[in-house]
Amino acid sequence: MTEIMNGSHTAGDPVLRVTDLKMHFPVRSKGLFPKTIGQVKAVDGVSFDVQPGETLGLVGESGCGKSTTGRTALRLLEPTSGKVEMDGIDVTRMSAKDMVPLRRKAAMIFQDPYNALNPRHTVGAIIGAPFAVQGVEPAGGVRAAVRDLMDRVGLNPEHYNRYPAEFSGGQRQRIGIARAVALRPHFIVCDEPVSALDVSIQAQVINLLRDLQDDFGIAYLFVAHDLAVVRQISHRVAVMYLGHVMELTSREELYARPLHPYTHALLSAIPVPDPRAQKNREHILLSGDLPSPVNPPSGCVFHTRCFVAQDICKVDKPVIREFEPGHQVACHFPITEYLGSTPIVGPDPGLTAESELEGMQDGDPMEQAGDADLIHEPGTNYTDGTDSLIDPGPGLWR
Amino acid sequence: MSAYVVRRVISMILLLLLLTFVVFVLFSLLPTDPARLTCGKSCTPEIIEANRHRLGLDLPVIQQYWEYLKGIFVGRTFAKDSPDPVVCSAPCLGYSFKRGEEVFVLIKEGFPATFWLALGAFVLWLAAGISVGVYAALRRGKWQDKTVMGISLAGYSLPSFFLGLMAIFFIVIRLQLLPYPSYVSPFENPTQFLQTMILPWIVLAILYAAFYMRLTRNQMLEVLGEDYIRTARAKGLPERIVIRKHALRAGLTPIVTAAGLDLAGLLGGAIITESIFSLPGIGSLAVNSVNDADLPLIVGITLVTATFIIVANLIVDLLYAVIDPRVRLT
Amino acid sequence: MTDLTPTPRRAYIEVEDLSVQFPTEDGVVRAVDGVTFAIDKGQTIAIVGESGSGKSVTAQAIMGLVNARTADVTGHVWIDGQDVVGMTDDELRKMRGSTMAMIFQDPMSSLHPFYRIGAQLTEAVNVHNKVSKKEARDRAIEMLHKVGIPSPEKRIEDYPHQFSGGMRQRVMIAMALINSPSLLIADEPTTALDVTVQAQIMELILELQQEYNTAVVLITHDLGIVADAADQVAVMYGARVVESGVIDDIFYAPEMPYTLGLLASVPRLNQVRAERLDPIPGNPPSPIRLPSGCVFNPRCVYTDRVEGDLCATERPALLPTSPGHMVRCHMSKEERGVVATIALRGLGREET
């Protein structure tokens, strides 16, 4: 694949390079002798790189595989196939033990600032944990380093001994960020870091992430569903759909001259807070829902909902290619012009694979962002109510 | 669905096999020598050895286990080569030499008392527990709710041996409102049956009802906070329909299934209650068998009780699939 | 205030000084404080605000869904001349689902998991109309068809979990509109959905609004959706409406510092350059301890433009600044104009 260099970044090894990454989760039948009855192709052949100090945005709707990609990039998941390189080192099959020193160079920020922090630990302990885990003794001691970090991310260092519950959502996300940058990593995967926050707080956190990048030269893989947020922080953006990267280019290109019909649809689906401008924007309505990643469409995975699809799209899977310098797209018929504000309605893919998804045990155990768990089995969710049976109950005293 | 049932039945059988094996091994590790227990005071090592051989206790554990399993299906004969062989017909769960009776027959004899006790208490506790629990949930935080929760805690904390003894002392002995409990079959003498059973039913039910009040209340509160209840209200449904049709069905599902498991557990004998009220059920049998170190009987009761619970588990899961359309049995 | 003769109503729906308070152990929570707005049939008002601003409670109070046992509701909600706030439970119940209906944020949990959607739809018909089973069923199928559910006569037998999130929201819309209400309250109807599905659902709501000539109260935090769908906007902050007007007032001539801050902090797709955002400093207030004076004053960067400590001590009134455009701020109109120019200068708009 062709490597795209952003002019402002030095050549050399990218902090992250992912080549033809595939992450398939087996779907098993239940019972005594479970059989693999299918694969959830959460990520199905994705390639990109992240240069030092750069932000690569990874956008798409729920179930497109963006979160799985992010987690696999940090080797929190072992990929089915493909290659993951960090700072030029192949870590695809590296053991957890060998990964330890590399973990210092990479970190993660999670979507939900409520669940990602241990409620029983003080903020100081949470932010200082990476030092202890990696056995790093910062100059001046851990306590001072943590206070510096708190100050840096906009938290009051006096609150060192408070617990996460005493902070608001935005402040908790700042705690998560302080923990992530504690060891000055080269690279951070941000998984929907602002989608749980209120608008006015989102802007604060985005600005903080940009400032930290400027100061420390951290590269981000910024996973999000909100194209407007991604635009605010990314240098380059990759658009994902059903496990594939559909388009990858610089931010300026993507938002001004999108090529892929899916990108057009996605951009037009987001109303802008500007009623007059809204009337002149492209107006593309996709029909139906995302097809099942267990049984993705043949050819181009987007062809069932695509408004420019031709017969070839049903059989021939488009390979991602450099359509223009620095602008990659996986489409047989890229759209190079403004489509006008007359509504365009995509074809109806018919009933979606919802029913196929049933009985599936777990699609992607790690994909949390907005992916609703549609499956209930005996012994999972619904028996929660009977958990109290584990209580001593009256049985012992009958 | 049927494939699911077949799979569940197979795994159930495997589980039972494993369970009997564990019970078997555990008992073979006990310091008590079962052969020693078979002969009275005038015992000599020779007789013990002879008995050991007659009962097949000199065989390796695995082989004993195999004989035991085989006996369940085809029956078995102890002391074949002796002049007075003991025949245990299928299903043979062992033979109690202490009592000179097949284990299966002993359990079968104890079952009616246990069954009636469990069933009566079950009906009482579900009726009381659910209605009071729902009532408390609908008056959350009010004095009614607090009173119910207080009573529940009290009932939950009263051990049944205390309650049972108190009941006998005051109602039977002091006030003489009821005759002293003496179990008869309901088909033989319904009046005496009811007079005997009413106290044990209440004593046993209080304990469970206290627990089910709490469970029901908490379930209902959870369901009443669900979005679909808000939807039902937004539709303009009268509150009683919102409660009965929308909240109760969702709220009671886990409770009914929990009750199924509890009922199954009780069918294996309510040890304390049966003992206090001298009911000749499986619970009393279990106590006596332990007192006498009657190993075959202990193993037999364990197996039967476990079977009840495992079968109830299956039924409860199937019931779940019927009630909740989201549950897929695959 | 003591005028007991009902004044003639100007609009179909008028919310007047609506307040909701929840007494709790930690003190009284003022969830909604004097909310006032009006709309006509066929119109949409968007109530915009962040979490805890009181927008959802406002919606529930209009529907009469706020539990009278746990909350005090005061003020008036006039629907076609009738005040919903003073109604008995039964009167209210009869209006819910027939005159006014509601759809919710999470379509995954808003339908009862144990009942077929057909049963849930016909139940909504039957509770307000004396019709035969067949009629109710036909009505349900027709509605499902209208909201774009393919082969509704088959899908009516399905359970909610057999539908995707977008489809479930369509079912919710069908259920809300099945008795042709004149008021539809949509509480964050697309927040739980993906953007392409969100576009479908918003399109559907607006289309059906035209068909039924429904007044829509759209509760949202998304200014993009407001721009796309609303005729009027009420911006809520700290339980109060801080600014209201037609959409052009709010997007092109805003005056209240919170509205300005909100507009400046939203990332936009249509800006020429992705400049640094200008966030509102600080955090939203807790509904238990709302700041005294103007609720926004601790985060407001313009309090020095007001004499003395008026912002911190005295509650500003919601006053008209131009016809139909109301602002709650102590600054003078001139000052507000100056401030708006400063705050919005960064918002370069794309020329198309």
Cβ pair C127:B233 closer than 8 A: no
Q: Closest chain B residue to C96 measured between Cα atoms?
A: B236
- Sort out which chain B residues have CB atoms less than 8 A from C161's CB and list them: 325-326
Mark which residues 117-146 of C lie under 8 Å from A by CB: none
- Give the span between the Cα atoms of A225 and A58, in whole angstroms: 8
Interface check for C16 against chain A (CB to CB < 8 A): the answer is no
Q: How confident is the model at residue C153 (pLDDT cuts 50, 70, 90)?
A: very high
Region A144-161: mean pLDDT is 92
Would the pLDDT of A353 be above 50?
no
- Sort out which chain C residues have CB atoms less than 8 A from A280's CB and list them: 352
Would the pLDDT of A380 be above 50?
no
Sheet with strand A81-86: strands edge to edge: A36-50, A16-28, A81-86, A89-90
Residue C177's nearest CA partner among C202, C153, C143, C152 is C143
Q: How confident is the model at residue B40 (pLDDT cuts 50, 70, 90)?
A: low
Interface check for A29 against chain B (CB to CB < 8 A): the answer is yes
Q: What torsion do the CA atoms of C186, C188, C191, C197 make, to the nearest 10 degrees? A: 20
Interface check for A32 against chain B (CB to CB < 8 A): the answer is yes
- Give the span between the Cα atoms of C126 and C133, in whole angstroms: 8
Which segments within chain C are labelled E, that is strand? 13-24, 27-39, 44-48, 72-79, 82-83, 100-103, 183-187, 215-220, 232-237, 240-246, 318-322, 325-328
Region B232-240: mean pLDDT is 93
- Give the span between the Cα atoms of B5 and B11, in whole angstroms: 10
What integer best gives the mean pLDDT of chain A?
A: 82
Q: Tell me the pLDDT tens digit for each residue of B187-209.
A: 989 999 998 899 999 999 998 99
Interface check for C352 against chain A (CB to CB < 8 A): the answer is yes
Q: Could you give phi then psi for residue C105, rounded to 5 degrees?
A: -65, -45
Cβ pair B207:A382 closer than 8 A: no
SS3 B85: coil
DSSP element (H, E) containing A20: strand A16-28
Neighbours of C171 (CB within 10 A): 28
- Sort out which chain B residues have CB atoms less than 8 A from A377's CB and list them: 327-328
- DSSP state, residue B246: I
Would the pLDDT of B251 be above 80?
yes
Is the peptide bond prior to B91 cis by the omega test (within 30 degrees of 0)?
yes
CA B37 and chain centroid, separation: 29
Which segments within A29-160 are labelled E, that is strand? 36-50, 55-59, 81-86, 89-90, 106-109
Q: Closest chain A residue to B204 measured between Cα atoms?
A: A398
Interfacial residues of C (vs B; Cβ cutoff 8 Å): 63, 65, 89, 93-98, 101-102, 104, 106, 109-114, 123-124, 127-128, 159, 161, 172, 175-176
DSSP element (H, E) containing B54: helix B45-54
Site from B138, B223, B230, B231 to mutate, C interface, most C CB atoms within 10 angstroms:
B231
Would the pLDDT of B118 be above 90?
yes
Q: Closest chain B residue to C61 measured between Cα atoms?
A: B234
Interface check for B163 against chain A (CB to CB < 8 A): the answer is no
Which member of C63, C89, C159 has the closest CB to residue B234?
Answer: C63
Whole-angstrom Cα Rg for chain B: 25
**The listed CATH number (1.10.10.10, 2.60.40.10, 1.10.150.20, 1.10.3720.10) that belongs to domain B109-323:** 1.10.3720.10
- What is the pLDDT, as a whole number, of residue B299? 85
Cβ pair A199:C150 closer than 8 A: no
Would the pLDDT of C242 be above 60?
yes
Site from C106, C154, C195 to mutate, A interface, most A CB atoms within 10 angstroms:
C195
Give the contacts of A198 (CB within 8 A, at least 6 positions apart).
Answer: A169, A170, C50, C51, C221, C284
- What is the pLDDT, as a whole number, of residue B137? 92
What are the structure tokens assigned to C217, written together? 């109260």
- Mean pLDDT check: name the lowest of A230-239, B105-114, B319-328, C302-311: B319-328
Q: How confident is the model at residue C9 (pLDDT cuts 50, 70, 90)?
A: low
Helices A142-152, A169-181: inter-axial angle, 10-degree rounding = 130
Longest dimension (CA), chain C: 70
- Give the span between the Cα atoms of A226 and A224, in whole angstroms: 6
Helices B2-29, B61-74: inter-axial angle, 10-degree rounding = 130
Residue B185's nearest CA partner among B110, B107, B125, B288 is B110
- Give the span between the Cα atoms of B77 and A385, in whole angstroms: 48
- What is the pLDDT, as a whole number, of residue C285? 87
Q: Could you give phi then psi for residue C269, rounded to 5 degrees?
A: -80, -25
Sheet with strand C44-48: strands edge to edge: C100-103, C183-187, C215-220, C44-48, C232-237, C240-246, C325-328, C318-322
How distant is the Cα of A354 from the closest Cα of chain C, in angstroms? Answer: 6
Neighbours of C258 (CB within 10 A): 26
Looking from the CA of C165 toward its CB, the CA atoms found within 13 Å total: 24
- Sort out which chain B residues have CB atoms less than 8 A from C63's CB and list them: 234
- Sort out which chain B residues have CB atoms less than 8 A from C175's CB and list them: 231, 235
- Sort out which chain C residues have CB atoms less than 8 A from B226's CB and list them: 109
Cβ pair B324:C102 closer than 8 A: no
Domain boundaries, chain B: 2-103, 109-323
How distant is the Cα of A22 from the closest Cα of chain C, in angstroms? Answer: 24
Q: Tell me the pLDDT tens digit for each residue of B274-287.
A: 988 889 999 999 99
Neighbours of chain B (3+ CB pairs under 8 A): A, C
Pairing of β A284-285 and β A244-250: unpaired
Neighbours of chain C (3+ CB pairs under 8 A): A, B
Residue A26's nearest CA partner among A18, A36, A34, A16 is A36
- Give the span between the Cα atoms of B152 and C99, in whole angstroms: 44
Interface check for A135 against chain B (CB to CB < 8 A): the answer is no
Would the pLDDT of B233 be above 90?
yes
- What is the pLDDT, as a whole number, of residue B237? 94
What DSSP line would sit under A288-357, residue for residue? S-PPPTTSPPSSSTTGGG-SS--HHHHH-PPPPEEEETTEEE--SS---S---SS-EEPPP--S-THHHH
HEC string of C34-85? EEEEEECCCCEEEEECCCCCCHHHHHHHHCCCCCCCCCEEEEEEEECCEECC
Residue A61's nearest CA partner among A233, A296, A332, A289 is A289
Cβ pair A378:B320 closer than 8 A: yes
- What is the pLDDT, as a whole number, of residue C140? 95
Mark which residues 99-118 of C lie under 8 Å from A by CB: 108
Q: Is the ipTM of this complex over 0.85?
A: yes
Site from A166, A199, A253 to mutate, C interface, most C CB atoms within 10 angstroms:
A199
Residue A235's nearest CA partner among A390, A28, A51 is A51
- What is the pLDDT, as a whole number, of residue B318? 86
Express as a percent the part of chain A with pLDDT over 70: 83
Produce one character per residue of B77-90: b if its CB has 16 or more CB atoms within 10 Å, e if not. Answer: ebbeeeeeebebee
- What is the pLDDT, as a whole number, of residue A4? 39
- Give the span between the Cα atoms of B144 and B139, in whole angstroms: 7
Give the contacts of B244 (CB within 8 A, at least 6 positions apart).
Answer: none
Cβ pair A376:B324 closer than 8 A: yes
- Sort out which chain C residues have CB atoms less than 8 A from B235's CB and list them: 96-97, 101, 123-124, 127, 175
Residue B128's nearest CA partner among B239, B202, B218, B196 is B202
Express as a percent the part of chain C with pLDDT over 70: 94
Q: Is the dihedral of CA B193, B195, B198, B199 positive or negative?
A: negative
List C-alpha distances in Å: A131 to A15, A171, A184, A355, B95.
22, 21, 11, 47, 67
Residue A119's nearest CA partner among A157, A165, A162, A178 is A165
Q: Tell me the pLDDT tens digit for each residue of A9-50.
A: 445 689 999 999 999 998 877 655 677 778 889 999 999 999
- What is the pLDDT, as a whole number, of residue C271? 67
SS3 A286: coil
CA B286 and chain centroid, separation: 12
Which member of B234, B236, B324 has the closest CB to residue C114?
Answer: B324
Which segments within A209-265 are labelled E, that is strand? 219-224, 236-241, 244-250
Cβ pair A398:B271 closer than 8 A: yes
Interface check for B326 against chain A (CB to CB < 8 A): the answer is yes
Would the pLDDT of C350 be above 50?
no
Interface check for C261 against chain A (CB to CB < 8 A): the answer is yes
* Residues A107/A185, Cβ–Cβ less than 8 Å: yes
- What is the pLDDT, as a whole number, of residue C269? 81
Neighbours of B40 (CB within 10 A): 7
- What is the pLDDT, as a whole number, of residue A387? 33
- What is the pLDDT, as a whole number, of residue B173? 85
SS3 C289: coil
DSSP element (H, E) containing C152: helix C152-155
Q: How confident is the model at residue C346 (pLDDT cuts 50, 70, 90)?
A: low
Give the contacts of B143 (CB within 8 A, at least 6 positions apart).
Answer: none
Interface check for B266 against chain A (CB to CB < 8 A): the answer is yes
Q: Tell me the pLDDT tens digit for each residue of C156-187.
A: 999 999 998 889 999 999 999 999 999 999 99
Q: Closest chain B residue to A374 measured between Cα atoms?
A: B326
Which member of A29, A377, A398 has the closest CB to residue B327?
Answer: A377
- Sort out which chain B residues have CB atoms less than 8 A from A397's CB and list them: 159-160, 207, 272
Would the pLDDT of A366 be above 50?
no
Q: In this complex, how many residue pairs, one in chain A and one in chain C, have their CB atoms less than 8 Å apart?
A: 150
Which member of A31, A358, A388 has the closest CB to residue B215?
Answer: A388
Q: Closest chain A residue to B322 measured between Cα atoms?
A: A378
**End-to-end C-alpha distance for chain B, whole angstroms:** 7
Q: Please report the domains of chain A, with CATH numbers, ordered by start residue.
A: 16-105+185-369 (3.40.50.300)
What are the structure tokens assigned to C140, written together? 């349900």
- Give the span between the Cα atoms of A259 and A329, in whole angstroms: 7
- Sort out which chain A residues have CB atoms less than 8 A from C163's CB and list them: 354
Region A57-67: mean pLDDT is 91
Cβ pair B235:C124 closer than 8 A: yes
Q: Closest chain C residue to B142 measured between Cα atoms?
A: C69
- Sort out which chain B residues have CB atoms less than 8 A from A375's CB and list them: 328
Region C191-206: mean pLDDT is 90
- Mean pLDDT check: name the lowest of A283-292, B229-238, C45-54: A283-292
- What is the pLDDT, as a whole number, of residue A56? 96
* Residues C290/C239, Cβ–Cβ less than 8 Å: yes
Q: Closest chain A residue to B221 measured between Cα atoms?
A: A385
